Amino acid sequence: MTLLEIRNITKRFGNFVAVDDINLDIKAGEFFTLLGPSGCGKTTLLRMIAGFDAPDSGEILLDGHNIIDVPPEKRPFHTVFQSYALFPHMTVADNIGFPLKMSGKSLEEINTRVASTLKEVELSQFADRYPHELSGGQKQRVAFARGLINKPRLLLLDEPLGALDEKLRENMQRELINLQAEAGVTFIYVTHAQNEALALSHRIAIMNQGRIEQIGEPSRIYNYPVNRFVADFIGKINMLDATVIKTSSSHLTLKVAGLGEVTVPARDGIKVNDRGVMAVRPEQIRMVAQTSEIADEFQFTGKIKDFFYIGDVTTYIIDLANSTRIEALLPNSLPGHAKLFEIGDPIIVSWQEQSAQFLLN
């Protein structure tokens, strides 16, 4: 069921178009993420949904009714910011209970609901502390609890984990998924961290320069990016300049710089002479020593140029013919081995046809 509809929303600052004619449907119960580079308009869009800013044109519908003229405090939404925005002079319990106090609930109801919310976010023992006595992760949990206590229809979150270190971020990501599932509240989540978006979301909208490039489930966006921007923004990907020389219902034949003719799965709307890139993810590339036999459709000889050991995986930089360079990613499944190949080793790289795709420039 659709909860929120965003229809042709545009926002300008002077002559600059920060949000450019965006359309979106958010389903009830969904964890929906806006992902894009700094300055692409994520916060601007979120602020219009919250009601802090008015769009120049377009409509925002909640349950089918336009809410453009409804002030932010009358919208059944709550916003959580990166900076937590906790009240420094109030205890954890008072911070969490604040929205209930504002909506005029009785002291008794406030106390009961704060106690149960504190339990949910595992902060019961911190009820009487002040924000400056908490860690970053604990402060963020208080902010989530305050966001959820009023059971908003929609929780808007703007980079809520941005200030936390890597390990804590991962823990909080898991907590967020659980919180969202338990509370049954619809989330619109803003981030420019692609891993976070992939890990958390039911669906992601990839934004670029005020527009949406692609909307879809994480695995769909990762595996089938619609264009070069999306492919490049989500994860790492090898891109080699390519021109389409033949099309059929199942394949595109490409002329790829340095590699010659390569086929990739067909894709709608692509014509002969279209220019773009052949794209393959590093983890889809296989590497073996040049003496081995392999069965993959596409194989090319090359030499290891460099490698980067990152603990769980090693990234290899490989020089192919015509100084074409690609990256391959191998898991480090053998303990005690930082790498399986040495710099200068002659190798064969290969991939299966279905791993590669053609993307327009």
Ligand X SMILES: Nc1ncnc2c1ncn2[C@@H]1O[C@H](COP(=O)(O)OP(=O)(O)OP(=O)(O)O)[C@@H](O)[C@H]1O
Binding site for ligand X (CB under 6 A): 13, 18, 36, 38-44, 192
Nearer Cβ to Mg ion, position 35 or 359?
35
Handedness of CA 4, 10, 14, 16 (dihedral sign): positive
| Among Mg ion, ligand X, none, partner that 212 touches (CB below 5 to 8 angstroms by kind) | none
How many CB atoms neighbour CB 252 within 10 A?
24
Nearer Cβ to Mg ion, position 35 or 123?
35
Q: Which of 193, 287, 277, 279 is closest to 237 using CA atoms?
A: 279
Look at the block and give the residue holding tokens 């059971």: 151
Q: How far apart are CA 189 and CA 80, in angstroms?
A: 9
Say whether residue 33 binds Mg ion (CB under 5 A): no
Q: Least distance in Å: CB of 335 to Mg ion? A: 42
Please, what is the angle between helix 166-183 and helix 136-149, to 10°? 20
Alpha carbon of residue 19 to chain centroid: 19
**Which residue from 43, 186, 350, 355 is in contact with Mg ion, where contact means CB under 5 A?**
43
How many CB atoms neighbour CB 171 within 10 A?
12
Q: Least distance in Å: CB of 154 to ligand X? A: 18
Q: Which two tokens mark 167?
A: 């390990």
Nearer Cβ to Mg ion, position 43 or 214?
43
- Are 95 and 116 in contact by the 8 Å Cβ rule? The answer is no
**DSSP characters over 118-130:** HHHTT-GGGTT--
Q: Starting at the earlier edge strand, list the strands of the sheet with 57-62.
A: 16-27, 2-13, 57-62, 65-66
| Among ligand X, Mg ion, none, partner that 97 touches (CB below 5 to 8 angstroms by kind) | none
Q: Least distance in Å: CB of 350 to Mg ion? A: 42
Q: Least distance in Å: CB of 159 to Mg ion? A: 6
| Among ligand X, Mg ion, none, partner that 39 touches (CB below 5 to 8 angstroms by kind) | ligand X
Alpha carbons within 13 A on the beta-carbon side of 329: 13
Which residues sit opposite 251 in a β-bridge? 265
Nearer Cβ to ligand X, position 44 or 95?
44
| Among Mg ion, ligand X, none, partner that 333 touches (CB below 5 to 8 angstroms by kind) | none
Q: Least distance in Å: CB of 212 to ligand X? A: 12
Give CA separation, 249 vs 142, 265, 269, 272, in Å. 55, 9, 11, 13
| Among Mg ion, ligand X, none, partner that 62 touches (CB below 5 to 8 angstroms by kind) | none
Q: 81: alpha, beta or left, given left = phi > 0 and alpha = psi -120 to 50? A: beta
| Among Mg ion, ligand X, none, partner that 41 touches (CB below 5 to 8 angstroms by kind) | ligand X
Nearer Cβ to ligand X, position 24 or 279?
24
Nearer Cβ to Mg ion, position 123 or 188?
188
Nearer Cβ to ligand X, position 117 or 191?
191
Judged by CB under 5 A, which stretch of 37-45, 110-118, 246-254, 326-334 contacts Mg ion? Answer: 37-45
Q: Least distance in Å: CB of 210 to ligand X? A: 7
Nearer Cβ to ligand X, position 33 or 44?
44
Q: How far apart are CA 6 and CA 21, in angstroms?
A: 10
Q: Least distance in Å: CB of 36 to ligand X? A: 6
Alpha helices in the chain (DSSP H): 42-50, 92-102, 107-120, 136-149, 166-183, 194-200, 218-223, 228-233
| Among Mg ion, ligand X, none, partner that 219 touches (CB below 5 to 8 angstroms by kind) | none
Residue nearest to Mg ion (CB): 43
Say whether residue 79 binds Mg ion (CB under 5 A): no
Q: Least distance in Å: CB of 98 to Mg ion? A: 24
Q: In the complex, which residues of this chain contact Mg ion (CB under 5 A)?
A: 43
